[in-house]
Amino acid sequence: MADVLLPGITATRVPTERGVQSVLHPAGLPPAGGEAVVLVHGNVSSALFWQQQLLALARSGRHSVLAVDLRGYGEAEPLPVDATRGVRDWSDDLAALVEALELDRVHLVGWSMGAGIVLQYLLDAPSRVASVALVAPISPYGFGGTAGPDGTRVHADGAGSGAGAANPEFVAAIAAGDTTADSPTSPRAVLRAFYVAPGSLPLDPALEDVFVASMNSTRTGVEHYPGEAVAVDAWPGVAPGTQGVLNTMAPTVFDVSGIVDLAEKPPVLWIRGDADQIVSDTSVFDLAFLGSVGAVPGWPGADDFPPQPMVTQTRSVLDRYAATGGAYREVVFPDVGHTPHVERPQEFTVALLEHLDVPAEAPANLT
Q: Tell me: the pLDDT tens digits for 127-158?
A: 999 999 999 999 999 999 999 999 999 999 99
Q: Do you find a cis peptide bond into 80, omega within 30 degrees of 0?
A: no
pLDDT for the residue numbered 185: 98
- The whole-model pTM stands at 0.96
- Rounded Cα–Cα distance for residues 277 and 312 (Å): 14
Per DSSP, the three-state class of 64 is coil
Can you list the pairs that 55-62 forms with residues at least 24 positions away whose Cβ atoms lie under 8 Å? 55/6, 55/8, 55/9, 55/26, 56/345, 56/346, 56/349, 57/26, 57/349, 57/352, 57/353, 58/8, 58/26, 60/349, 60/353, 62/353, 62/356, 62/357
pLDDT of 17 strictly over 60: yes
Output the average pLDDT for the chain. Answer: 95
Q: Tell me: the pLDDT tens digits for 262-290?
A: 999 999 999 999 999 999 999 999 999 99
Strand-pair partners of 104: none
The structural domains of the chain, with segments of one domain joined by +, span 2-356
Strand-pair partners of 24: 11, 67
Q: Tell me: the pLDDT tens digits for 329-339?
A: 999 999 999 99
Question: If one looks up domain 2-356 in CATH, what number appears?
Answer: 3.40.50.1820
Across residues 206-234, what is the average pLDDT?
A: 97
pLDDT for the residue numbered 47: 98
pLDDT for the residue numbered 306: 98
Q: Tell me: the pLDDT tens digits for 21-68?
A: 999 999 988 999 999 999 999 999 999 999 999 999 999 999 999 999
- Rounded Cα–Cα distance for residues 350 and 301 (Å): 43
pLDDT for the residue numbered 364: 40
pLDDT for the residue numbered 2: 66
What is the DSSP secondary structure assignment for residue 220, as one 8-state letter?
E
- Rounded Cα–Cα distance for residues 168 and 185 (Å): 9
